[in-house]
């Protein structure tokens, strides 16, 4: 199918739901902008803010920056040559959880989401695909080049949209700020169906260091050393990257 309008790069069946979640992001931005104006006025009035208020003020500034980045990212996905689709988590064969996969039969990248917060999270992974920070195996649809730091970025974006949702997740701590959403926090997250999916022994088997489709084999080996996946051996010599040597890589050209 030829894509001739930007709107068409979101599967038309999912577009109303996409637009509804996007409107929720704009709504949060509006709300945060109102809070920002309140703190700015307070600062003008009092000169120095109480610690509690200055912490909230700093948070709302970061929240606005992050929500703006989410909106830019959604626009990028809408204008991409890649078609993206949304599905409810109940349709995810992987235990009904949220996630992002490549569907080879439709050549679409599918975001499994439960609500607007997980929409923000999963579409952040879409942006990572657009920038070559992640890719997929074009036959199995599974992620390649995914790592703990991709998750940190996705959870931080989700935190900006709905901090309470992220605080409600079970991990070693409840993040009170963006800085508290770290690789260690992601590592310790408890999934709904198993103990710790992103940990050393978890099922997600994601990279332990930050990698992209252009990372050399040595970096990929370091990232995945705990699992030594069979595909790593097929990459050839040390100068190989995912992009240059992986046989069935679905990546952004
Ligand atoms: Zn994620």
How far apart are the CA of 37 and the centre of ligand 1, in A?
A: 32
How far apart are the CA of 174 and the centre of ligand 1, in A?
A: 18
- Check residue 196 and give its pLDDT: 87
Q: Contact, 92 vs 110, CB < 8 A?
A: no
How far apart are the CA of 13 and the centre of ligand 1, in A?
A: 23
Q: Are residues 121 and 38 in the same domain?
A: yes
Q: Is residue 43 part of a domain?
A: yes
How far apart are the CA of 147 and the centre of ligand 1, in A?
A: 9
- Check residue 192 and give its pLDDT: 74
How far apart are the CA of 6 and the centre of ligand 1, in A?
A: 25
DSSP state of 249: E
Q: Are residues 21 and 127 in the same domain?
A: yes
Q: Is residue 149 part of a domain?
A: no
Q: Are residues 230 and 136 in the same domain?
A: no
Q: Are residues 33 and 133 in the same domain?
A: yes
- Check residue 2 and give its pLDDT: 46
Q: Are residues 31 and 137 in the same domain?
A: yes
CA distance 175 to 73: 24
- pLDDT tens, 86-105? 998 888 877 778 899 999 99
Q: Are residues 135 and 228 in the same domain?
A: no
How far apart are the CA of 151 and the centre of ligand 1, in A?
A: 5
Q: Are residues 133 and 209 in the same domain?
A: no
How far apart are the CA of 150 and the centre of ligand 1, in A?
A: 7
Q: Is residue 31 part of a domain?
A: yes
- Check residue 67 and give its pLDDT: 98
How far apart are the CA of 7 and the centre of ligand 1, in A?
A: 25
- Check residue 237 and give its pLDDT: 87
Query: Cα separations (Å) of 173 from 41, 117, 167?
Result: 33, 20, 8
- Check residue 102 and give its pLDDT: 96
Domain boundary among 110, 144, 178: 144
How far apart are the CA of 12 and the centre of ligand 1, in A?
A: 24
How far apart are the CA of 107 and the centre of ligand 1, in A?
A: 20
Alpha helical stretches, state H, the chain: 15-46, 51-79, 116-130, 148-161, 163-167, 183-187, 217-223, 230-233, 242-245
- Number of domains present in the structure of the chain: 2
Q: Are residues 129 and 243 in the same domain?
A: no
How far apart are the CA of 204 and the centre of ligand 1, in A?
A: 10
Q: Is residue 133 part of a domain?
A: yes
Q: pLDDT below 50 — which residues of the chain?
A: 1-4, 6
Q: Are residues 180 and 245 in the same domain?
A: yes
Q: Is residue 152 part of a domain?
A: no
Q: Are residues 24 and 137 in the same domain?
A: yes
How far apart are the CA of 236 and the centre of ligand 1, in A?
A: 29
Q: Which domain holds residue 167?
A: 162-250
How far apart are the CA of 18 and the centre of ligand 1, in A?
A: 18
Q: Are residues 60 and 174 in the same domain?
A: no
How far apart are the CA of 241 and the centre of ligand 1, in A?
A: 23
């Amino acid at each position: 199918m030829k894509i001739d309008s930007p709107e068409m790069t979101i599967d038309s069946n999912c577009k109303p739901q996409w637009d509804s979640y996007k409107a929720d992001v704009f709504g949060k931005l509006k709300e945060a902008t109102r809070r920002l104006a309140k703190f700015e006025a307070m600062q003008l009035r009092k000169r120095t803010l109480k610690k509690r208020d200055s912490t909230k003020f700093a948070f709302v500034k970061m929240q606005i920056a992050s929500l703006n980045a989410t909106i830019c990212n959604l626009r990028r996905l809408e204008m991409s040559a890649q078609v993206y689709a949304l599905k409810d988590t109940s349709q995810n064969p992987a235990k009904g959880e949220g996630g992002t996969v490549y569907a080879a039969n439709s050549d679409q990248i599918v975001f499994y989401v439960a609500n607007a917060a997980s929409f923000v999270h999963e579409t952040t992974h879409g942006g990572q695909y657009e920038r070559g920070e992640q890719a997929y195996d074009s036959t199995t649809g599974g992620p390649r080049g995914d790592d703990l730091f991709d998750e940190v970025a996705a959870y931080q974006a989700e935190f900006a949209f709905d901090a309470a949702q992220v605080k409600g997740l079970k991990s070693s701590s409840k993040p009170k700020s963006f800085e508290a959403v770290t690789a260690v926090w992601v590592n310790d997250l408890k999934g709904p169906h198993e103990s710790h999916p992103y940990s050393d022994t978890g099922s997600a088997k994601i990279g332990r260091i930050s990698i992209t489709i252009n990372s050399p084999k040595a970096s990929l080996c370091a990232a995945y050393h705990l699992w030594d996946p069979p595909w790593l051996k097929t990459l050839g010599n040390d100068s190989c990257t995912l992009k240059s040597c992986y046989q069935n890589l679905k990546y952004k050209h």
